[in-house]
Chains A and B, each alone.
Chain A
Amino acid sequence: MLKITDLHKRFGDKEVLKGLDLYVPEHSIFGFIGKNGAGKTTTMKTVLGLIRANAGDITVAGESVVYGQTATNRFIGYLPDVPEFYPFMNAREYLLFCGEITGMEKKEREKRADELLELVGLSGERHRVKGFSRGMKQRLGIAQALFNRPRLLICDEPTSALDPVGRKEILDILLAVRNQTTVLFSTHILSDVERICTDIAFIDGGKTRMSGKLADIRNSYRRDEYVFETETAQAAGKIAAAFCAAARAGDTSLTFSEKDINVYALMRFAADNEIPVVKLERIEPTLESLFMEVTGE
């Protein structure tokens, strides 16, 4: 859906993007992860033709992106980090205006506006945008971005400024539109990524450090570590005595690696000795640990 190859951008003597590559497959929810100032917004604005790249190639749905008059924008819906609307309009009027500038028929744009207001939960809202909260603006932002059924929805940190309830609402909306469009959203909130993303890319220092399917990345970084938790320190001691490769992680818990200890053997030992099991879990690499690893911090 979106392909970026070797993208470079400098502002004055500050090089923001140093050969960024990105591939966003169709119908994915793509988490574009990086620290503040990593170049996320610059990348997105370049995709939208709002910033001129110094070098590199961008294609959206197979078409090259041109700066200025950007025809590929017809495929894209965009939600900026702090969306601003005409304060003198109400939500419905604004959406109708959006429909009008894209050349939609009157009946169709009225239908689409009502449909989207319903989706983002603003259908009863008659006030002008001037009095909207941040969460409401963000929801109207998604509605306007989805208006002409874009094939790619680009959201710039849609949840960063919101409270937990607002964040959940936005994430739910993004999940709900997944079968209609491809979603690319930038963020530095890793729990949001874990909640909804199918694909991710970490960027740092103007380059892509890692990208691919979230599940694949998790698999490749899995170190086959397990945690075993029992009820009493005595029981934990029994296990530790039988399996000396296991390390005590607390009074009642141990950690071990699959290559040192056979998990089934441990389970059998626990069963034979009637050791109560509170938890036996494979430790999944957290995005946070991955992020720290790839950014080298």
Chain B
Amino acid sequence: MKACIKKELTEQLRTGRLTILGILFTLFGIMNPAVAKLTPWILSTMADSMAESGMSITVSDPTALDSWTQFFKNIPMALIAFVLIECAIFTREYQSGTLILSLTKGLKRYKVVVSKALMLAMLWSACYWLCYGITYMYNAYYWDNSVAKDIEFAALSWWIFGLFVTDLIPLFSAMVSSGAAVLGGVGAVVFAMTIASTAPKAAKYLPTHLMDGTSLIYRKSVPCDFEEAFIITAAASIVCIILAVPVFNRKQL
């Protein structure tokens, strides 16, 4: 198992994926406070020309809340980028045939699934908390993070949601053989959840509920409201991996 994880890490490093992800999530982390800080300035420069056309704009000073709002608005895009970059983590090996050599040497199939799933989880966690950390530090420097209530819990919820989405990659990779199909599968699940969450009764049980960090920081909801979705999502993440193992065992390579 150690060998597999080491190999995955070497691959992420040497193929430059780790660097790309690092840069991407750093940029996202910087963008959140930057947008919050710059928006009033942009608006005020436009205010004069707007006033001529009869519109008046009142610009209020930005706070950490604006920056965190940006965070929750942007992090889905970062997750999509993450899935795009990593969706072929299994299928690349099916297509090149590199996995066959390892498996015919007696490598247990579950180790392949678990090591890759673990790699994805570690990557997502590192990237996500890097992005969060950068935004948090800038916010602390410019404003005051304490205005965003339960920001830690809101961030934790979103992280769990991301983990669930990344855990869908091993599951779909065990079922299908192309990176595009994996992407389609993951996209379909998230899309289906988004549709289902329009039903008010179902919404609070769905993993997508965890994406609603803004309602927490604006005190429109409390952590208790997320309890069900939190537990269900964490459980679903584990189920994805457990399910992926027997499916992958039966896969014809």
User: Interface of A with B (CB < 8 Å)?
Assistant: 48, 50-52, 68-71, 73-74, 76, 78, 80, 82-86, 88-89, 97-98, 100-102, 144, 147-148
Q: Could you list 18 further interchain pairs (A-B, Cβ under 8 angstroms) beyond the known A97-B7, A100-B2?
A: A48-B104, A50-B103, A52-B252, A68-B109, A71-B106, A73-B105, A74-B106, A78-B104, A80-B100, A80-B101, A84-B98, A86-B11, A86-B98, A88-B15, A98-B101, A101-B3, A102-B107, A144-B105
Which parts of B86-106 form the interface with A (CB within 8 Å)? Answer: 96-98, 100-106
When chains A and B are docked, how far (Å) is the Cα of A148 from the Cα of B253?
Answer: 22
Complexed CA–CA distance, A76 and B101 (Å): 11
Residues of A within 8 A of B7 (CB): 86, 97
* Chain A proximity of B16: nearest CB distance (Å): 10
CA distance in complex: A51, B103 (Å): 13
Report the minimum CB–CB distance from B10 to chain A (whole Å): 7
Q: Which of B10, B97, B104, B105 contacts A82 (CB 8 A)?
A: B97
Chain B residue numbers with a CB within 8 Å of A68 are 109, 249-250
Tell me whether chain A's interface is mostly helix, strand or loop, or mixed: loop
Question: Does B220 sit within 8 A of A, measured CB to CB?
Answer: no
Tell me, in angstroms, the Cα distance from A97 to B97 when the chains sit together.
Answer: 16
- 30 A-B pairs in the complex with CB atoms less than 8 angstroms apart: A48-B104, A50-B100, A50-B252, A51-B252, A68-B109, A69-B108, A70-B104, A71-B106, A73-B104, A73-B105, A78-B101, A80-B97, A80-B100, A80-B101, A84-B96, A84-B98, A84-B101, A85-B98, A86-B7, A86-B98, A88-B10, A88-B15, A89-B10, A97-B7, A100-B6, A101-B3, A101-B4, A101-B106, A102-B105, A102-B106
B101 to chain A, nearest CB (A): 6
Count chain B residues whose beta carbon lies closer than 8 angstroms to a beta carbon of A.
26
- Residue in B closest to A72 when the chains form the complex, CB atoms: B106
Question: A28 to chain B: closest CB distance in Å?
Answer: 21
A51-B252, A88-B11 known; A97-B3 Cβ under 8 A: yes
Given contacts A74-B106, A84-B96, A100-B3, whether A144 and B252 have CB atoms under 8 Å apart is no
